[in-house]
């Protein structure tokens, strides 16, 4: 009996690669193969060898294929969603010249500030690209590379994002999509193309960059013979343009033109992220005005310090991660790696408000509160970018979808409920980045709309939690400390 058609969605993240095998019709997850990544660097440095991403992709696909029980011949399509912003520089042999600079490498903060000023300030950047350069943005990393590793910059014959690098290794085609491209700092969401003036400012030749496909679900080719042999798949497998991880998560949730618009999402992972899919082009320097994978917009704010930072505080206190209580008078801002939102790349963790009665459990609870407050404060900006008044009953009653590893943790969920006062939805889908990539893969293979497919698959639906009374005292206390401590 022939096997149902299968698609593969790859989530190549900071820490690992996941290859999700899904039924192309129902979206049912058949298997998830996994392989870890290594991140090197100390201080502000965060680097990875891109070749390990390719090795991990091969391992994850092999593991998923074996676990799924599907024959290789059943696989119709494949798409890669990757960590955003990373800078990959390739030589003439299309191999990396050096380790990739990752999104959370903060050494490029001075270059980001210099670029912002060189174009005329934050408003000028927002008008062109939708976003103001910060240390995470690829443009700042390219400027850092030219200043600190000029030999690699001079020998570079191709500049890629992490997901572009893998898509090219799969197909031999140099291509990206509007979603991931919009995180580079040199792609204009106003024109839908690379910005020639910014490229000139960066001294970045346009021929070094990949072509931009219309959407992340666009079929850009099939597996090369070499890639097909390495993955154990037929060369007929359709490969999509793919996208960035946040854009892929939005697809997996069914957010976009064919699905839910202006519905906010909070992702609790290594970073804390809040975003929504909208038809309105964002024009707010406080946000990343990204494009979405399906041709719309994805206003987004991202914090550096989320689950890993809070886990580090738990380790220092000798507590389990859920052995926490509300912080009381204590305020702990866990900015252990600097911070991206607000833009404080040189910040460190801050603890204040200690009393004789303060307990270790309250200190851990204060770390949760500090991390959650930081990303929730950006939620109002995202809602405003969607043309919603954050204080209106319409916006306040709109459920906040909670995803990421933290959404599986009791204390994370309860802290978000208490500080937001909003209804929550905990989607049934847990590998939403990979599932979104699977929908893009299905789109490449069939021509169907990927957001509509994901809506049919239903991963964005899940457990609904009613709102609880908002803890305004904690909210105001944390906000007051943050504003006083880091006032310009």
| Catalytic annotation, pick one of 23, 164, 245, 337 | 245
Could you name the CATH architecture of 6-246? 2-Layer Sandwich (3.30)
Q: Report pLDDT for 343.
A: 83
Q: Token digits for 303?
A: 């914090």
Over residues 322-329, the mean pLDDT reads: 96
Tell me the C-alpha to C-alpha distance, in Å, between residue 259 and each of 43, 62, 198, 458: 42, 33, 34, 11
The kind and range of the H/E element at 158 are strand 158-160
What does the pLDDT look like over 366-419, one tens digit per residue?
999 999 999 999 898 999 898 888 888 877 788 999 998 899 999 999 999 999
What does the pLDDT look like over 433-468, one tens digit per residue?
999 999 999 999 999 999 999 999 998 889 999 999
HSE-CB at 108 with a 13 A cutoff on CA atoms is 30
245 is an active site residue: yes
Q: Which residues, at least 6 apart from 488, have a Cβ–Cβ distance to it below 8 Å?
A: none
Asked whether the predicted pLDDT for residue 1 surpasses 70, the reply is no
- Whether 162 contacts 12, CB under 8 Å: yes
Asked whether the predicted pLDDT for residue 360 surpasses 60, the reply is yes
Over residues 210-226, the mean pLDDT reads: 98
- For the chain, give every domain's residue range: 6-246
Q: How far apart are CA 129 and CA 404, in angstroms?
A: 27
What does the pLDDT look like over 131-182, one tens digit per residue?
999 999 999 999 999 999 999 999 999 999 999 999 999 999 999 999 999 9
CA-based nearest residue to 136, from 185, 82, 202: 185
DSSP E strand boundaries for 187-286: 187-188, 193-194, 211-212, 219-222, 238-240, 243-244, 265-268, 272-275
CA-based nearest residue to 19, from 406, 433, 403, 405: 433
């Amino acid at each position: 009996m022939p096997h149902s058609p299968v698609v593969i969605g790859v989530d190549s993240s900071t820490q690992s690669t996941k290859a999700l095998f899904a039924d192309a019709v129902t979206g049912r997850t058949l298997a998830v193969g996994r392989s870890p990544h290594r991140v090197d660097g100390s201080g502000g440095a965060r680097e990875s060898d891109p070749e390990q991403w390719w090795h991990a992709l091969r391992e994850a696909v092999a593991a998923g294929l074996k676990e799924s029980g599907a024959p290789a011949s059943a696989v119709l399509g494949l798409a890669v969603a990757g960590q955003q912003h990373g800078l990959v520089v390739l030589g003439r042999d299309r191999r990396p010249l050096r380790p990739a600079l990752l999104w959370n490498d903060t050494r490029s903060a001075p270059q980001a500030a210099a670029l912002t000023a060189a174009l005329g300030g934050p408003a000028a950047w927002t008008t062109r690209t939708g976003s103001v350069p910060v240390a995470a943005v690829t443009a700042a990393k390219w400027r850092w590379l030219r200043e600190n590793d000029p030999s690699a910059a001079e020998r570079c014959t191709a500049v890629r994002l992490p997901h572009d690098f893998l898509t090219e290794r799969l197909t031999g085609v140099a291509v990206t999509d509007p979603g991931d491209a919009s995180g580079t700092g040199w792609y204009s969401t106003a024109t839908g193309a690379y910005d020639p003036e910014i490229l000139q400012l960066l001294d970045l030749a346009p021929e070094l960059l990949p072509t931009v496909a219309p959407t992340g679900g666009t079929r850009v080719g099939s597996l090369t013979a070499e890639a097909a042999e390495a993955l154990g798949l037929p060369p007929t497998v359709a490969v999509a343009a793919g996208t960035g991880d946040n854009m892929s998560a939005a697809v997996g949730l069914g957010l976009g033109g064919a699905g839910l618009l202006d519905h906010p999402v909070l992702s609790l992972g290594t970073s804390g992220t809040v975003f929504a899919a909208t038809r309105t082009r964002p024009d707010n320097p406080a946000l990343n005005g990204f494009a979405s994978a399906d041709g719309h917009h994805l206003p987004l704010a991202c914090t550096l310090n989320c689950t890993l930072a809070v886990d580090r505080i738990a380790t220092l206190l000798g507590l389990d991660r859920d052995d926490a209580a509300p912080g009381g008078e204590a305020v702990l801002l866990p900015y252990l790696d600097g911070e991206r939102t607000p833009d404080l790349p040189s910040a460190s963790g801050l603890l204040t408000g200690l009393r004789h009665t303060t307990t270790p459990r309250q200190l851990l609870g204060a770390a949760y509160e500090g991390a959650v407050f930081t990303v929730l404060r950006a939620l109002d900006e995202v809602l405003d970018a969607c043309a919603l008044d954050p204080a209106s009953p319409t916006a306040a009653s709109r459920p906040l979808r909670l995803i990421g590893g933290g959404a599986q943790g009791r204390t994370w969920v309860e802290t978000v409920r208490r500080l937001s006062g909003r209804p929550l939805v905990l989607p049934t889908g847990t590998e939403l980045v990979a599932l979104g990539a699977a929908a893009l893969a299905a789109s490449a293979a069939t021509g169907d709309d990927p957001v509509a497919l994901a809506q049919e698959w239903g991963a964005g639906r899940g457990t609904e939690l009613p709102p609880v009374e908002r803890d305004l005292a904690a909210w105001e206390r944390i906000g007051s400390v943050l504003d006083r401590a880091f006032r310009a």
